[in-house]
């Protein structure tokens, strides 16, 4: 029997990024017709810039769903505002926005902007879904990879719940193919590990055995992290563990 191909046209912003490229791959594997937005030219890419608005109207035209994975640390809300306006003009596609667990608990500038963006989307009048996820494996590895070169490795006294972008992409694909869900349940990695355990894993994967020293960092942002504001212990739906990710990326 031929599998049924669902004929939905989906735009993925940030489809060239870490998460977005996994979302594009997953959607295409599910038989979806996907359009990728990028500022740079490339195969199967629609060019547009959410900062200037150039090309956004035509990128959004005719799509039923927009999965918004594009991000800019300094202009997160401005990018989304441009997208929301274009989407309204285009007849109101389902907007799926990727956010971060704890954006309303950890007082970091980028998190505040993501929370503000969630509110912008929720009040836009567009059908929407907001998916918060915990930190990606790649980010956690990058944070620790530099420190692991030192003879003694200082790490913050806190935990992470790293998740693989392929697992997040699986969830986003299901959401993009479903009805607008508003704020979806959080999505987290399979394990919660201390920064010490994570640094040991990064060290072991690169053949470096180091003494790891957990430190308490002053300030309210660190306190919010130390209190687990960025964790989703009741949502461990991610399947790929941090150590499995490191094994796969040993050459990097
Ligand atoms: N990293 C984490 O641990 C984590 C955890 C939870 C949630 N998230 C969220 O997941 C989402 C994706 O993160 P990521 O780490 O995969 O991002 P990323 O790899 O840094 O990719 C960023 C993407 O944004 C696009 N972009 C940036 N500025 C743009 C603009 N002005 N116009 C159009 N596109 C623009 C880039 O496309 P071009 O360069 O091709 O134009 C690129 O594809 C973000 O919303 C992030 O907050 C991340």
Q: What is the CATH number of the domain that holds 199?
A: 3.40.50.720
Residue 3 inside a domain? The answer is: no
Q: Which residues of 232-241 are buried (b: 16+ CB within 10 A; e: fewer)?
A: beebbbbebb
Q: Is 20 a pocket residue for ligand 1 (Cβ < 6 Å)?
A: yes
What distance in angstroms lies between residue 188's CA and the mean position of ligand 1's atoms?
Answer: 18
The whole-number pLDDT of residue 151 equals 87
4 within some domain: no
Are the C-beta atoms of residues 191 and 240 closer than 8 Å to each other? no
**Is residue 139 lining ligand 1, measured as CB closer than 6 Å?**
yes
Q: Is 40 near ligand 1, meaning CB less than 6 Å away?
A: yes
The predicted pLDDT at position 3 comes to 42
Contact in structure between 203 and 145 (CB atoms under 8 Å):
no
Q: Is the CB of 47 under 6 A from ligand 1?
A: no
2 within a domain of the structure (yes/no) = no
* Cα gap 80→97, rounded to integer Å: 9
pLDDT along the chain (252 residues), means of 10: 53 98 97 95 92 97 97 98 97 98 98 98 98 98 89 94 98 98 98 96 87 94 97 98 94 62
Domain count, the chain: 1
Q: Which domain holds residue 50?
A: 9-248
For residue 50, tell me if it sits in a domain: yes
pLDDT the model gives residue 51: 98
Q: For the chain, give the longest Cα–Cα distance.
A: 61
Q: Is residue 210 part of a domain?
A: yes
Cβ of 51 less than 6 Å from ligand 1: yes
- Which pLDDT score, from 0 to 100, does residue 251 have? 64
Closest-CA residue, ligand 1 atom 26, reads 70
Q: Would you say residue 220 lies in a domain?
A: yes
Pocket-testing residue among 11, 19, 48, ligand 1, by greatest number of atoms within 8 A of Cβ: 19
Q: Residue 193: helix, strand or coil by DSSP?
A: strand
Q: Is the dihedral of CA 163, 190, 140, 131 positive or negative?
A: positive
> Using CA atoms, how far apart are residues 133 and 138, in angstroms rounded to an integer?
13
Ligand 1 pocket check: which of 11, 13, 14, 66 to mutate, most ligand atoms within 8 Å of Cβ? 14
């Amino acid at each position: 029997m031929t599998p049924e191909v669902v004929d939905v046209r989906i735009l993925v912003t940030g489809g060239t990024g870490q998460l977005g490229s996994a979302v594009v791959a997953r959607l295409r594997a599910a038989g979806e017709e996907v359009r990728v937005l990028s500022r740079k030219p490339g195969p199967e890419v629609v060019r547009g810039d959410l900062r200037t608005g150039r090309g956004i109207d035509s990128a959004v035209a005719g799509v039923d769903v927009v999965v918004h994975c594009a991000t800019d640390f300094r202009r997160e809300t401005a990018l989304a505002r441009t997208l929301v306006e274009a989407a309204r003009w285009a007849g109101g596609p389902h907007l799926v926005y990727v956010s971060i667990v704890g954006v309303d608990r950890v007082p970091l500038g980028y998190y505040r902007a993501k929370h503000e963006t969630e509110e912008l989307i929720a009040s836009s009048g567009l059908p929407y879904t907001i998916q918060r996820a915990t930190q990606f494996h790649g980010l956690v590895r990058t944070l620790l990879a530099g420190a692991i070169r030192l003879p003694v490795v200082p790490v913050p006294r806190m935990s992470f719940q790293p998740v693989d972008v392929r697992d997040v992409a699986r969830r986003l694909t299901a959401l993009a193919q479903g009805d607008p869900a508003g704020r979806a349940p959080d999505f987290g990695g399979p394990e919660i590990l201390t920064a010490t355990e994570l640094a040991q894993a990064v060290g072991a994967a690169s053949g470096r055995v180091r003494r790891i020293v957990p430190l308490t960092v002053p300030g309210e942002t660190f306190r919010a992290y130390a209190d687990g504001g960025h964790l989703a212990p009741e949502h461990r739906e991610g399947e790929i563990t941090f150590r499995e990710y490191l094994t796969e990326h040993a050459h990097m």
